[in-house]
Amino acid sequence: MPAAPIPALDPYEPRLTLWQRRPHLGWGLAVFGLTAFLTFAAFPPLNVGDAGYAFALPAVLWAYRRPPFWIYAGTVLGAQVVAWVALLGWLRHVTLLGPLLLGSFVGLLIGSWYLAVWWAIPRLRGHQAVVRISALFGLAALWVMLEWLRTVIFGGFPWLTLAASQWQRPLVLQSAAYAGAWSVSFILIYFNLAGAAYAHRVFYEGFSGLRKRSPEFMVALMLLVSASFPFLAETMGAQRQKLARVTLVQPGIPQNEKWDSARAQEVLQTIEQVTFDASKAGRGDFILWPESVVPWPLFRDANVEPWLASVAKRAGQPLLVGTVYTALGSAAEPDSWYNGAFVVEPVAGVAREGYAKRKLVPFGEYIPLRPILGWLDKLVPIGGDFQRGTEARPLLVPVRSGQVRVGVLICYEDIFPEFARASTLAGAEMLAVLTNDAWFGEGGAAYQHAASSVLRAVETRRPVLRCGNSGWSGWIDEFGNIRATLLNEKGSIYFRGSQTLDVTRDVRWRDRSSFYVQHGDWFLLVCAGWAVISYYLVLNLRPPRLPADGVAAF
């Protein structure tokens, strides 16, 4: 049987363009570029907070168009990996593979949320507003649960939760005092979902006039208003009282010199010079040093304790010092290493009771799964594992009016809400974050890290002091307002120097805990339950009966 003849092409018929023949190609390229760029832009170093309200909108809008799964998955996962590799690019100063490996992990975990969007969004078309809103709440709750998962999986790395994109917009953050920063992330991601629903309604669903109104977007606006404006009176009606006058010292010691034994004396001289210059410029109640500032371990090296006592005596002020130390008077564990903090008084010297870091950095302060990965021992600076602290008890620091209870957080402990909350429950009147972000160069790392401290201040309703080796240093009040940032004459946070600051508090929060501190992560339980309920709701949706005009009812 002869083959059927191939029909001749009509020379007058217009040829389809590449975008017409591959409609999802244009969508894919646009979604990839916009998602990657807006995700990166929402956080430091670009610091465009507005992007936090729109970064997911292109991908959610595309999901309404029912793209093929593999094209959609490749696009959104790839965009998230690119964005997070770029956001964590500062890790290259420690390990070249760090940004690629950790950025890919975080990007893929966050990207998995978009796969749930692809599954759920097309099923909502034509259903009643209450069903659509409930399902979008479920997707927002799922986003929160994935952020929480980042606090526990592989040791935890909840760096740059979505709420952190608003770190310079304190009014938006106030719900964190009641439901934790999770609530801020929930509102922001729901705003993205509702914005996409509104855009699809306007451009693709054929509504006109008042029917273009989107119930989803109206709810988003109400959420945003209810999470912000009711707190105006609380934030603007503060009755401020001086808590302490604190001198922050940034020694600005390069990382290649910090642990070089040949330069240890030079490092000590630098610390002394910056400290004594600060004392001459303006006397405070106490002086704050950053994380592990001393090049030798306290209690292990006999010279460290007398030197610290001498500096405090010559400065005429107490010191709150971040230092590596070994167990004091422990015959059973003579080589137990800790990363912690101590108070040093001009007369009494180094206090016997200090603070030990409770959350250690994997591959920086200990080797996870040591029986398997013990060969990575060389990555730990001291050649072994640090021990984990267990006490959240604040340190008592002398000030002119008596004592102030300071809850200490070392390094990246402030990115985990539970540690700031535990310190506040233990009686802290202020929180002090002692860190050394000089490991990561002069890019966005220090600003990204500081964003977490703003969230902890709002959650706990406690002022937060930050002291870094070379930045970001300053203080944040209990409403998330950045009251002071240490800058040099060029406006840079990266410099060697000091500044004395008057730290105040709102007397209404003296000896009073926020709802979040009292009740913890109750909002996570709500999100977990709502995500499960919404899954079964969407799973059991039946195709709706559309009216004659082919569009759904309001």
Where along the chain do its domains lie?
18-235, 240-512
Mean pLDDT for the stretch of residues 9-13: 55
Report the C-alpha gap between 47 and 67 in whole angstroms.
31
Query: What would the 3-class secondary structure string for 119-144 be?
Result: HHHHHHCCCCHHHHHHHHHHHHHHHH
**Taking 60 as the threshold, does the pLDDT of residue 331 lie above it?**
no
Q: Tokens 């620091």 sit at which residue?
A: 397
Q: Tokens 């940032």 sit at which residue?
A: 485
Query: Residue 2's pLDDT is what?
Result: 59
Query: Residue 372's pLDDT is what?
Result: 63
Sheet architecture: strand order including 430-435 = 395-399, 402-410, 430-435, 464-468, 474-476, 482-485
Report the C-alpha gap between 335 and 240 in whole angstroms.
46
- Residue 235's SS3 state is helix
Query: Residue 521's pLDDT is what?
Result: 97
Give the Cα-Cα-Cα angle 471, 473, 474 (nearest 5 degrees): 155
Q: Where does 240-512 sit in CATH, by number?
A: 3.60.110.10
Query: Residue 330's pLDDT is what?
Result: 46
**Taking 90 as the threshold, does the pLDDT of residue 1 lie above it?**
no
Give which of 76, 131, 132 is closest to 108, Cα–Cα.
Answer: 76
**Taking 90 as the threshold, does the pLDDT of residue 243 lie above it?**
yes
Give burial (CB, 10 Å; 0-12/13-18/19+) of 390: exposed
pTM of the model: 0.91
- Residue 214's SS3 state is coil
Q: Please, which residues have CB within 8 angstroms of residue 69's CB and are 6 or more apart in sequence?
A: 118
Q: To which H or E segment does residue 465 belong? A: strand 464-468
In which band, very low, low, confident or very high, does the pLDDT at 129 lie, cut at 50, 70 and 90?
A: very high
Q: By the 8 A CB rule, do 349 and 308 touch?
A: yes
